[in-house]
Amino acid sequence: MANVVNQPDGASASAKNPPAVDPVWEVVGDWNWKAESTHTFSDGVAQAFQGVDWTSRNTAFAGSLAVKASGLEIGISSSESSSRYYHVTQTGPIVFASLSDIVSGYSLADTVVIQCVMNPVVDTVQSGNESNQHVYGGIQVFDGGYGASGGGNWYQANWYRQLSASTNYYHARYGGGTATSAGDPVVTADTGGGAPTFFELVIYPAGTGWSCAQSLDTEMQDPFSVSTGVFYGNMETSLPWDIGSGGTICPGTAPDFTLRPSNIKVGMWAAYLTAASTRGSEITCTFERFRVLKRKS
């Protein structure tokens, strides 16, 4: 787990006396979903929380998508159709907001961090066909596309588990582009224990480069203080997923600037993919907190 910073006066941090944020960063948005008004989302209908509109998409792929006393809950069972994020397929239930509504004056010069604390639970594992059951949950940056042909302009940091085993993974993926195997840019790492609960995505200046970190921490952490589940990428959508490997691939080619301040959305999502045959499991991802920070000039 990451080191938690003490208070500036040296006092120990605790749940009642949380650590001060690194002074390099400004908190521009912080939603404690356990303290927000309860609400059940309808697909495409915005709901304001702290003056920012939050919208759900792919809502039919969730059995529950609501703000409750426990937090913002996305529950998915076998009653809903299979869902996933892969290339232009973007069918996982998601709740999101426009980044420009959160970060006043957001521009290509800014470095922005989004974070969440989430509690992912596998409620039921079906008996049989477990190897074809894949579950996910985490945070995402994208252009607002959704559905079976969403456009493929997205990247995410999330929990992943294949239900034939108890292993939990740190996981990151982006949408890919036009090349062969473009849907496959993915990286995973065994957590060595339970499901990850803290997630961080960094949006670098120009909006094309990104990094993530993930951990088993149950409280917010300072940006760049987490050393597990750390992955990097860019929105390079014209090259194969294995960019940088082999003698014919040049990682110096121009990235794809499809994500801009005018269209970037940030949000929380989950998915339950059944790759083949029967479907009979259930998961619940409860997001307790979502935070956005901007690096000070």
Q: What are the tens digits of pLDDT across the range 226-248? A: 999 999 887 665 544 444 334 44
CATH number of this structure's domain 25-245+255-295: 2.60.120
Mean pLDDT to the nearest integer, 205-232: 93
Beta-sheet strands, E only, within 131-205: 133-142, 154-162, 169-174, 186-190, 198-203
C-alpha 61/C-alpha 58 separation (Å) is 6
pLDDT at 178: 56
- Of the listed ranges 4-18, 83-97, 142-156, 218-232, the least confidently predicted one is 4-18
pLDDT at 111: 97
The reported pTM is 0.88
Q: How far is CA 169 from CA 160, 190, 210, 213, 275, in A?
A: 5, 5, 19, 12, 18
Contact indicator for 94, 271 with CB cutoff of 8 Å = no
pLDDT tier, 62 (very low <50, low <70, confident <90, very high otherwise): very high
Cβ count near 14 (within 10 Å)? 11
- Of the listed ranges 123-127, 150-154, 248-252, 284-288, the least confidently predicted one is 248-252
Q: How many CA atoms lie within 13 A of 199 on its CB side?
A: 34
Bridge partners of residue 140, in order along the sequence: 156, 267
Given a cut of 70, whether residue 205 has pLDDT beyond it is yes
Given a cut of 90, whether residue 208 has pLDDT beyond it is no
The pLDDT tens digits of the residues spanning 255-282 come to 566 788 999 999 999 999 999 999 999 9
Q: Look up tokens 């609501």; give the residue.
A: 66
Q: Look up tokens 């994208």; give the residue.
A: 142
The pLDDT tens digits of the residues spanning 105-115 come to 999 999 999 99
pLDDT tier, 179 (very low <50, low <70, confident <90, very high otherwise): low
Given a cut of 60, whether residue 14 has pLDDT beyond it is no
Contact indicator for 215, 197 with CB cutoff of 8 Å = yes
- Of the listed ranges 72-76, 87-91, 133-137, the least confidently predicted one is 87-91
C-alpha 12/C-alpha 9 separation (Å) is 9
Mean pLDDT to the nearest integer, 135-152: 93
Q: Look up tokens 């995505």; give the residue.
A: 201
Contact indicator for 233, 174 with CB cutoff of 8 Å = yes
- 3-state helix, strand, coil split of the chain in percent (to 5) is 5, 40, 55
Q: Look up tokens 């945070």; give the residue.
A: 139
Say what percent of the chain tops pLDDT 90: 72
C-alpha 281/C-alpha 107 separation (Å) is 42
Given a cut of 60, whether residue 11 has pLDDT beyond it is no
Cβ-proximal residues to 255 (8 Å cutoff; 6+ apart), any chain = 208, 209, 234, 235, 236
Of residues 247 and 170, which shows the higher confidence score?
Answer: 170
Rounded to 5°, angle at Cα 135 from 274 and 221: 165
Most confidently predicted of 14-28, 149-163, 249-263, 276-290: 276-290
pLDDT at 180: 55
Mean pLDDT to the nearest integer, 76-100: 96
Of residues 150 and 45, which shows the higher confidence score?
Answer: 45
C-alpha 159/C-alpha 94 separation (Å) is 15
Helix (H) or strand (E) holding 289: strand 282-295
Of residues 176 and 210, which shows the higher confidence score?
Answer: 210
Contact indicator for 80, 58 with CB cutoff of 8 Å = no
